[in-house]
Structure 1
């Protein structure tokens, strides 16, 4: 079914001008059109409409793939009483009995947390088979990292670099994979400043290849 995802502001990326009340029309896994919601809706009267608060942007790439998925353990919610809820690293990680199966389960939870921050790609070399399998099954793309990223590894791709650098290629033209995210941040003023200030934890939805893979409750 053709679906139109509309938001208060569309930020296409690559320096393209923001579109107030903008939208992306999705047909299958691809983009059918990008532009003002009224135009897209008028051309597609039978489309299902999903309306979101905030800013719709290209999907994000997290530069800390190995650090977050192969050098950190994401506890199972059932372990929260013993291990807490935040990723475990360093000496605390070394003290855990990390089997390949446990690495795979951790990576699946880590990937879900990434998608809840608008992430649809990770950068860096992944070598653990269970981790690679988790990333591929989720549909995230893996990108080469040409230099070591600065800053502390974070689930928030906006935390350590300019907002524009976190975006994948811009939305459009027609035929490109429908991969984007929506962040519930203020739309007055500079949208990049709003995203940087409030962070990717404000993500309300992530669409990957036309699939809604994350939706905030």
Structure 2
């Protein structure tokens, strides 16, 4: 299936200039083409078109994924009255009871939170738990190797769910720039430009496409 994802502004990465009125054509799981919408649409007649508000970027990479999934508890919505909706960590985990009773559900919900933040890949070193990586892959996220291991940016404040937190440019938080024939990982954000996106953070995500699949849609 061929789908064109279009937005007011495309940030392709790789040192390329932003593309007002940009679009990415996706065939199955790979990028078929990208550029101005008119050119992409003309080259791919009959494609389904999805239009997103704001900025379209390559998918983001979560460099703190292992710590987030192992050190945080992501509450079930049914627990909101008792535990709230924000992740719990540190001593708050002691009140949850035996880890084996809540770990799997927390991991699933944590991965969904990552998808809601435009994440399409996670960085994991060789010591990452195999079961955790299996859950990551099942969610549709790609697993990057040790070369993309966590940076030192979060050592003072702990891991961060928002891949854009502390980034000076969106390209610093993307897994890879767009490339024809490359894996179709995209994220759309309700922000007018890159500066506004960095200020708002990845919480402004309205859609995440991982391997060509729409894995999160906020509207």
The TM-score with structure 2 as length reference comes to: 0.90
Q: Distance in 1 between matches of 2:88 and 2:143?
A: 23
For residues 39-90 of structure 1, give each alpha carbon's deviation from its aligned partner in whole angstroms, at most 9, with x where no partner exists: 1111222111001111110100112112211000001111111111111100
With over 3 angstroms needed to count, the CA separation of the structure-2 counterparts of 1:102 and 1:168, relative to structure 1, is: same
Of 176-185 and 134-143, the range deviating more from structure 2: 134-143
What is the CA-CA distance between 1:164 and the residue it aligns to?
Answer: 2.1
Q: Distance in 1 between matches of 2:150 and 2:76?
A: 32
- Aligned match of 1:155: 161
Q: 1:104·1:130 contact (CA, 8 Å) conserved in 2?
A: no
Q: 2:116·2:205 contact (CA, 8 Å) conserved in 1?
A: yes
Q: Distance in 1 between matches of 2:143 and 2:30?
A: 19
Matches within 5 A, 1:38-49: 38-49=38-49
Q: 1:70·1:128 contact (CA, 8 Å) conserved in 2?
A: no
- Aligned match of 1:70: 70
With over 3 angstroms needed to count, the CA separation of the structure-2 counterparts of 1:72 and 1:99, relative to structure 1, is: same
The TM-score with structure 1 as length reference comes to: 0.91
> Where do 5+ consecutive residues of structure 2 fail to align?
none
Matches within 5 A, 1:121-140: 121-125=121-125, 127-128=128-129, 130-140=131-141
Secondary structure of 1:80's partner? helix
Q: 1:64·1:149 contact (CA, 8 Å) conserved in 2?
A: no
Q: 2:118·2:202 contact (CA, 8 Å) conserved in 1?
A: yes
CA RMSD of aligned residues (A): 1.7
Find 2:201's aligned residue among 174, 180, 199. 199
Q: 2:63·2:124 contact (CA, 8 Å) conserved in 1?
A: yes
> Where do 5+ consecutive residues of structure 1 fail to align?
none
- Aligned match of 1:178: 184
Aligned residues: 212
Matches within 5 A, 1:107-146: 107-125=107-125, 127-128=128-129, 130-143=131-144, 144=146, 145=149
- Aligned match of 2:175: 168
With over 3 angstroms needed to count, the CA separation of the structure-2 counterparts of 1:81 and 1:128, relative to structure 1, is: farther
For residues 172-206 of structure 1, give each alpha carbon's deviation from its aligned partner in whole angstroms, at most 9, with x where no partner exists: 1x21111110111013xxx2x22211111110110
